[in-house]
């Protein structure tokens, strides 16, 4: 089961706001894809939250785009920031990337983002969102959301 960003935000608005703020804090993040042989590939990426979707844009023919065309599964790690403070905690998103070919949809994206042309555009279908943070300098808190389930919160001392 997978869902888009808008459906996640409607189901869990507090967690969605926190995670989105974490991703908006810095422009560059880390995307993990699967190579043809099944091994992982980690690459840098900018993401956009626009019109209820989480978008991934890439240069034409980039290895990460070719990976996603072959196997749409991905994991996305928010940039941890310039130091060890990790304000807002750690945020990760997993799911599937669906390439967008529709000229109207791509045109609307271009109008908002003005990416270099040409480019690959993928919208995401979320299968998991995770936030990890330290609470009261005592507990490691992990919040896990999956489509159709409430947020599960784990606390470790």
How much is the pTM?
0.94
Stated as kind and residue range, the H or E segment containing 25 is none
Residue that the structure tokens 């785009």 belong to: 65
pLDDT, tens digit, 9 for 90 and up, residues 103-148: 999 999 999 999 999 999 999 999 999 999 999 889 999 999 999 9
pLDDT at 80: 87
Angle subtended at Cα 97 by Cα 16 and Cα 110, rounded to the nearest 5 degrees: 85
């Amino acid at each position: 089961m997978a869902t888009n960003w808008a459906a996640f935000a409607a189901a869990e608005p507090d967690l969605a706001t926190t995670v989105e703020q974490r991703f908006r804090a810095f422009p560059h993040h880390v995307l993990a894809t699967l190579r043809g042989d099944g091994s992982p590939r980690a690459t840098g990426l900018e993401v956009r939250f626009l019109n209820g979707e989480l978008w991934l844009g890439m240069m034409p023919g980039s290895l990460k785009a070719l990976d996603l065309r072959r196997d749409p599964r991905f994991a996305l790690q928010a940039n941890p920031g310039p130091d060890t403070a990790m304000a807002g905690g750690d945020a990760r998103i997993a799911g599937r990337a669906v390439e967008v070919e529709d000229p109207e949809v791509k045109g609307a994206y271009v109008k908002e983002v003005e990416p270099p042309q040409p480019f690959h555009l993928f919208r995401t279908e979320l299968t998991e969102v995770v936030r990890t943070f330290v609470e009261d300098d005592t507990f490691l808190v992990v919040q896990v959301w999956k489509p159709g389930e409430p947020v599960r919160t784990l606390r470790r001392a």
